[in-house]
Homo-oligomer: A and B are copies of this chain.
Amino acid sequence: MGRRVAIVGTGHSKFGVRLDVSLAELAYESIREALDEARIGLDDVDLVVVGNAGGWSSEPLPAIVVNEYSGLSGKATLRVEAACSTGSSAIKVARDAIASGDAEVVLVVGVEKMNESPTPTVVEFIGRAGNYFWEFENYGLTFPGYYALYATAYMFNYGASEEDFCQVAVKNHYYASMNPKAQFQRRITVEDCMKSRYVAWPIKLYDSSPITDGSAAVILASEDVVGKITDSPIWIEAIGASSDTSNLSKRQNFLGLDAARKAALQAYKKAGLDPEGVVKQLDLAEVHDCFTIAEVMAYEDLGFARRGEGVKLVRESQTYIGGLIPVNLSGGLKAKGHPIGATGVSMAVEIARQLWGRVERGRQAPVKVGRGLAHNVGGTGHYAYVTLYSLSKPRG
């Protein structure tokens, strides 16, 4: 393997409806914070990787516009996109550039402005995250519709209830209430969730992540320069990545996401972790809860619970702080918000700050093993990236 790579600075904008800023201004909020945190200048950056799904944006070629506004003109740059796992793929591209020896310091920024577009456009775009021809055009499936297939299959096979799924929303709103960058700061009850309107049965409004504007940034540095920048790097220990058919009629079942399972096993293998007892080797996880069912499946796909037993973790509150493994202490996509291109980078920011022990009281995980996991899914498991972040320098 190439050189080891670490996070040396993090930045995070306020997530929400951000009609007050342009795409470039929104990106700059987190870029500025990350550069300040790393105490480096614009000249120290060798490459800028912009994660942006776009499609609804007035800037179809966002990398150059974001760079220019941030004073980074002249730098090597490109945009990366992998649907809702765009942010994690951008981190992989940046990590590889450094590990290969081609760059020392890389800025990764994920940014998305989803509210500037008329709602039908955003919903249509996200609907097209499936197989356009077969599902969207012929059967009219929308994105909540895809996950509703998984939710109903999970309920039928494993006896989960709508209330169980609502408990995930309750937890994530609870932690978001302590995260000033989250889109929603209001705690909700299972009753609130159960009373919310159906989007695609059994998925209700409160089971669903919102339409969000936001950005997140990390500065990555090579092991050769990291010591000059920080005493507490967060190392990228391993990245697993996989994909799956975009044609849901070809999936074997609707009980988990194959791509996520494969990505997790890859990451565990690269980091030398035992997939069986992986919860003991993690302090926390940020998982891709675009809908509440997705978080339950993530528990199983990541090996936190056996197949069909993810719902038990929910019922036993095992993914709160103090439980088996705290999950989505940021509020998750559900309540922190889900600006598509930013989400994977936001997960990295959250995990770094958790491992540094400096997030808000009440949502700070105990740091014991010094390792966190980010699970970032594109489409309905069309893409999956699982990334392990660690306080310890990985083996060479």
Contact = CB atoms under 8 A, between A and B. Distances in A.
A92 B78 contact: yes
A262 interface: yes
A245 interface: yes
> Is the contact region of chain A dominated by helix, strand, or loop, or is it mixed?
mixed
Contact of A77 (B59, B78, B383): B383
A243 B246 CA distance: 34
A3 B319 CA distance: 42
A64 B379 contact: yes
A343 to B, nearest CB: 15
Contacts of A75: 242-243
Interface in A92-126: 92-93, 95-102, 125
A100 B92 CA distance: 11
Contacts of A61: 53, 81, 83, 128-129, 378-379, 382
A184 to B, nearest CB: 27
Interface residues of A, number: 61
B76 A241 contact: yes
B383 A64 contact: yes
A82 interface: yes
A55 interface: yes
A77 B381 CA distance: 12
A60 B125 contact: yes
Contacts of A2: 2-3, 99-102
A80 interface: yes
A165 to B, nearest CB: 26
